Amino acid sequence: MTEATTARIGAIAADLDQFEGQLVTLEGWLYNRRSSGKIHFLQLRDGTATLQCVMVKKEVDPDAFADASKLPQESSIRVTGVVKRDERSPLGFELGVKALDVVSKADEYPISKKEHGVAFLMDHRHLWLRSSRQHVIVRIRHTIIKAVRDYFDGNGFTLVDAPVFTPNAVEGTSNLFGVEYFDRQAFLTQSGQLYMEAAAMAHGKVYCFGPTFRAEKSKTRRHLTEFWMVEPEVAYLDLEGDMDLAEDFLCFIVERVLAKHTEDLKTLGRDVDALRKVKKPFPRLTHAEAVDLINKAIDDGTADRRPAGTESMQHGEGADDEQVDATPTLTRARHDDDFGAEEETILGRLFDRPVLVHRYPYAVKAFYMKRDPEDDTRALCVDVLAPEGFGEIVGGGQREDDLDALLSRIEAHGLPQEVFEWYLDLRRYGSVPHSGFGLGIERTVAWICGLHHVRETIPFPRMLERLSP
């Protein structure tokens, strides 16, 4: 036998002309097996894809053939064979097996073809990640993160990392995780924004990308306690410019995912045509206009409050969450309040692309938001709501750049001024209008992949009742 080269399935698929007829060794895991007396059809998973390897009894060592008939799922194996073009294979080829080497025989695998509940799958998340659907989601998440970085890196932004230990709250004090920091109290960061404001005054256009933490005490399908957020911040940018940036950025991400993953999205059951509609311009509504639209839909009886997305399983925690989300009757949206999940769903379902809602009531928004000079009941902020009922994916706006206005906001929010002195300095030394936003990666993955719950969008989710694996 000539020397086999070690290769990965994905690399062979990408260059089939070169590999056709070649002897290769694939290193992976047994995903599935079908056998007749004389042939084993082995599905080999190697991290890039799953390939059918055909093992014919009379062409291999008899012991190896017998071993293969007893191998449990997820045993690790090395398979050597010849690459054969095959039009019936989704990859365009299969492997004609010459030799099989068992690296480690697996115990009986706990995740079987039968339906499992959410709690069971989440308890086995470390293994569940190997299944084809979860594999696709993680790869799309990777593409989204790469697109996020490429967008900012290609548009003059500098990456500036924000700290995770912080001395203060950014997004309200009710969902802070406190940590012991030697003899002091510290918190896990809720957002890198305030640090990005400092960095924007040094670099003009910056972004940070990292994990952020919120002690969310309710179970909802949109909240994690640890999630990844990308936060651009730009000096000399107003709210209009901020909305343009968010719009352009979201179009770039969706285009990238469609270019690379249309087939993957279809395997998830995602309506790809709906994603193709994500093109500029996005509708822009004031909060007041949005409230009127929601209430009109409620009054007309056309309000569509169905939660978005599909799921890999229909039992356990999933069912509980539905009860948490559900309310018996629709409550009208209010002009003086923020939106709840249901209002975001109803509004998002009125449009075929993301909708930008700006100028929420000043009183209900974070302390750092700039007041609208045209209407002092409004903040110069924007939320982007995904279509099809996936809810808020972006929150941001123009920041208060006036020292006195900011001081009075810190006081009004009952926040300790001392810890914000450095932040106030940004208004003392060359203050400029500036804006930014935060995009939640998991909400974005849920929307783009069409997933009902954020728990499947991150490799190891952290939620109220889940800290392991």
Q: Which residues contact 301 (CB under 8 A, 6 or more apart)?
A: none
From the CB of 229, what's the least distance to ligand 4AD, in Å? 5
Phi, psi of 374 (to 5 degrees): -85, -25
d(CA 168, CA 194): 10
Q: What are the start-end ranges of the E strands in 215-354?
A: 226-235, 284-286
Verify cis geometry, omega within 30 degrees of 0, for the bond prior to 167. no
Answer with the entry of ligand 4AD, Mg ion, none that 440 interacts with (C-beta below 5 to 8 A by kind). Answer: ligand 4AD
Residues contacting ligand 4AD: total by CB under 6 A:
23
According to DSSP, the β-strands at 184-188 and 178-181 are: antiparallel
Answer with the entry of Mg ion, ligand 4AD, none that 438 interacts with (C-beta below 5 to 8 A by kind). Answer: ligand 4AD
Buried b or exposed e, range 237-246, using 16+ CB within 10 angstroms: bebeebbebb
Asked if residue 200 lies in contact with residue 193, where contact means CB atoms within 8 angstroms, the answer is no
According to DSSP, the β-strands at 205-213 and 284-286 are: unpaired
Asked if residue 185 lies in contact with residue 168, where contact means CB atoms within 8 angstroms, the answer is no
From the CB of 202, what's the least distance to ligand 4AD, in Å? 17
Answer with the entry of ligand 4AD, Mg ion, none that 26 interacts with (C-beta below 5 to 8 A by kind). Answer: none
CA 283 to chain CA centroid, Å, is 23
Q: Which of 436, 449, 455, 456 lies at the binding interface for ligand 4AD (CB under 6 A)? A: 436
User: Which stretch, 78-86, 124-132, 138-146, 388-396, contacts ligand 4AD (CB under 6 A)?
Assistant: 388-396
Asked if residue 53 lies in contact with residue 77, where contact means CB atoms within 8 angstroms, the answer is no
396 near ligand 4AD (CB under 6 A): yes
User: Which stretch, 9-17, 120-128, 324-332, 392-400, contacts ligand 4AD (CB under 6 A)?
Assistant: 392-400
- Whichever of 55 and 445 has its CB closer to ligand 4AD, that residue is 445
The pattern of x and - marking residues 160 through 189 that bind ligand 4AD according to CB under 6 A reads ----------xx------------------
Structure tokens at 421: 């002195």
Interacting positions 218-237 with ligand 4AD (CB under 6 A): 223-224, 227, 229, 231
354 near ligand 4AD (CB under 6 A): no
46 near ligand 4AD (CB under 6 A): no
Binding site for ligand 4AD (CB under 6 A): 170-171, 191, 193, 214, 216, 223-224, 227, 229, 231, 392-396, 436-438, 440, 442-443, 454
